[in-house]
Each structure stands twice: as C-alpha cells, then as structure tokens.
Amino acid sequence: MKNHNKPKNIENSNGLYILLEAVYWTYNIAYLPIKVRVMSLDYKLKKAKVEQGWIDIDRLYQTEAECPQR
C-alpha cells in the first residue's frame, strides 16, 4: 500500500519553509507589500492558496523588509 501522506510544509527558493495557516508577506500588482495567510498548498505546482487566490510560493517572504517593493 502506498503512503499518500503529504508533508505539511514546502520550501521555496528563498530557503523559507512555507507552513499551512502561517502569515507571510508578498507584493501585489503595484509591488506594494501585503500580508497573506496560507490556506492550502499544491506540492506539485509549488503554489499556495491564499485569501486572494493562488500564488507561487517563491513570492512569499517572512518579513516586509525581504519583500520587493517599488
């Protein structure tokens, strides 16, 4: 029988482990920093479901200072 258990977190290209229900910083279309909460993870596509929709996990940052801004 195969083990279908998935890991509870995933690492992005910044070396940050993305956890479910955690809050991270990202940027919107105008490169303004915003906070988002991770609701689910797609391990195959490396995407996180946040309140605003799906986002690439490489766009998640731990602090506002790490987040790219205009």
pLDDT digits 0-9 by tens, 32-70: 999 999 999 998 999 999 999 999 999 999 999 999 887
Q: Would strands 40-42 and 47-50 be described as parallel, antiparallel, or unpaired?
A: antiparallel
pLDDT at residue 29, rounded to an integer: 87
Q: What's the predicted TM-score (pTM) here?
A: 0.81
Distance CA 10, CA 7 (A): 7
Q: Which two tokens stand for residue 39?
A: 């609701």
- pLDDT, one tens digit per residue, over 3-33 is 455 556 788 988 899 999 999 999 998 889 9
